Homo-oligomer: A and B are copies of this chain.
Amino acid sequence: MGKSRKEQAESAAEPLGGRIRQAQRAHIIACAERVFADHGFGVATMSRIAEAASLPKANLHYYFGTKLLLYRAVLENILTLWLDDMDPIVPENDPAAALGAYIAAKMAHSRNRPHASKVFAAELLHGAPELRAYLGLDLRRKVAEKSAVIEAWMARGLIAPVDPRHLFFTIWAMTQTYADFDTQMAAVLGIDKLGAADYATGTATVTRLVLRGLGIEPAGETMKQQRRTA
């Protein structure tokens, strides 16, 4: 009856399984994320995902059961990344530094995980049928908590008064647009795809709008930004 050493650290939500299972699931999720991002849930097909993963279609069903379950696995995988970016926003920190770090982290995600951002965006666009619970509980709680920090800063006169929730909405919008709508940006800029310089300019622009918008200076060494005061 004693558990063998097989299951080393079985937590609540079955994170383990054999070493093969873990690796294959991760691989399939990564490939599925790309396909879902490129085509949307409806146009994406299990065959296409299978092809992207270099596996037979039946194998995907062996690991995930149904297309919807695979899609949910992709979404959950994404959510684990998202929330932690807000960590620097605590009362003790300097507003400029904290918000600057938050914006930088979000922009980095837009650059490094564009597919994740797109899948998330598409899910929200269509009413978030699979994420309603997460949005109304975990995210809502997190935003309430961090909004209190923003309000504390406002009360101490460190930043100008704004609605903290809408401040987050606009920061999310500006940072994720660099992942979600990169196609539009590239077309407008007349280039094939965004490069490091574009993300740097984007980060500078977003940082400037948010910090100056809140009446504070881009604290210390933010970025090699043009500094020519009239």
A22, B180: Cα distance in complex, Å:
35
Residue of B nearest to A168 (CB): B188
A81 at the interface (CB under 8 A from B): no
Q: How distant is A56 from chain B, measured CB to nearest CB, in Å? A: 23
- Most B CB contacts (10 A, CB to CB) among A157, A173, A177, A180 go to A173
The count of residues in chain A whose C-beta lies closer than 8 Å to any C-beta of chain B is 63
A210, B206: Cα distance in complex, Å:
10
A158, B129: Cα distance in complex, Å:
46
Q: How distant is A55 from chain B, measured CB to nearest CB, in Å? A: 22
Q: Please tell me if the beta carbons of A201 and B157 are within 8 angstroms of each other in the complex.
A: no
Give chain A's interface residues, CB within 8 Å of chain B.
37-44, 118, 121-122, 124-128, 132, 135-136, 139-140, 143, 157, 160-163, 165-170, 172-174, 176-178, 180-181, 183-185, 187-190, 201-202, 204-206, 208-210, 212-215, 226, 228, 230
